[in-house]
Amino acid sequence: KAGVTQTPRYLIKTRGQQVTLSCSPISGHRSVSWYQQTPGQGLQFLFEYFSETQRNKGNFPGRFSGRQFSNSRSEMNVSTLELGDSALYLCASSQIAYRYNEQFFGPGTRLTVL
């Protein structure tokens, strides 16, 4: 099985622009979660989608949004970029198992905002 893929791997944007990141989960996985990783902050949960519905949302401003398509692929959008949005954005997919819910992570998209 192919792993979780994220595109693009690297992005450079300027303040005020918007950006869209893409995540393709492992085949058969219906849950996709997004995280922001910054040094010293660890992973901050952004949101989680399951069957095209957002089930959970972290504590991020409305500039951060996402969606999930019928094939479980997910996109994350950040509008009006700020310098503080520079981070590694990780996507994880999972299949709800009856015992535990292992998340499989993609390699991430490194976003730099200048």
Partner 1 sequence: GEDVEQSLFLSVREGDSSVINCTYTDSSSTYLYWYKQEPGAGLQLLTYIFSNMDMKQDQRLTVLLNKKDKHLSLRIADTQTGDSAIYFCAESIARIQFYFGTGTSLTVIP
| Binding residues vs partner 1 (CB under 8 A) | 4, 31, 33, 35, 40-43, 45, 48, 55-56, 90, 92, 96, 100-108
CB of 89 to partner 1, least distance (A): 11
Of residues 51 and 80, the one with the C-beta less far from partner 1: 51
58 Cβ contact list (under 8 Å, min separation 6): 44, 45, 46, 47
96 Cβ contact list (under 8 Å, min separation 6): 30, 31
CB of 80 to partner 1, least distance (A): 26
Of residues 79 and 103, the one with the C-beta less far from partner 1: 103
Structure tokens at 37: 């990783």
Of residues 61 and 107, the one with the C-beta less far from partner 1: 107
Of residues 84 and 100, the one with the C-beta less far from partner 1: 100
CB of 51 to partner 1, least distance (A): 13
Cα–Cα distance measured from residue 42 to residue 55, given in angstroms and rounded to the nearest whole number: 22
* N-terminal to C-terminal alpha carbon distance within the chain: 37
